[in-house]
């Protein structure tokens, strides 16, 4: 499964899910008996059930079918698109306070 890490899944409709990474513990209770393949950077999960691969949203606790098989899922995993922002497009950003301290940045706004 290493070939999917760092990628996003693009559905046939063009929607993107990810960035996909290795799952860390603990899993949400609802997924404790599931075959979890991976997670994304926002706390959502990619789960295999009945041969299909589903996207499980941690906020809604709802599942969306992404692919009919693991091979279809892998084939839909692509490198994330690069994005360029123009000055003024970013209004705010959260930075981990410990990370900011390493660079001498005051983590308080």
Encode pLDDT of 57-102 as tens digits: 999 999 999 999 999 999 999 999 888 888 888 888 788 888 888 8
Query: Is the pLDDT score of 38 beyond 90?
Result: yes
CA dihedral 18, 7, 34, 55 (to 10 degrees): 40
Q: Using an 8 Å Cβ cutoff, are 35 and 54 in contact?
A: no
Whole-model pTM: value is: 0.76
Encode pLDDT of 95-109 as tens digits: 888 888 888 888 675
Q: What is the pLDDT of residue 63?
A: 94
Q: Give 11-14's long-range contacts (Cβ < 8 A, gap of 24+).
A: 11/66, 11/76
Q: From CA 36, how far away is CA 59, in angstroms rounded?
A: 17
Closest CA to 17 of 50, 83, 63: 63
Query: How confident is the model over 27-35, as a mean pLDDT?
Result: 88
């Amino acid at each position: 499964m290493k070939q999917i890490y760092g990628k996003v899944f693009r559905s046939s409709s063009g929607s993107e899910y990810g960035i996909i990474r290795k799952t860390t513990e603990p899993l949400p209770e609802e997924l404790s008996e599931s075959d979890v393949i991976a997670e994304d950077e926002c706390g959502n999960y990619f789960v295999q059930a009945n041969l299909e691969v589903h996207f499980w949203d941690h906020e809604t606790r709802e599942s969306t079918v992404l692919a009919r098989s693991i091979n279809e899922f892998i084939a839909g995993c692509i490198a994330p698109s690069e994005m360029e922002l123009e000055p003024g497009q970013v209004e705010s950003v959260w930075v981990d306070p410990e990370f900011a301290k390493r660079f001498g940045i005051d983590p308080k706004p």
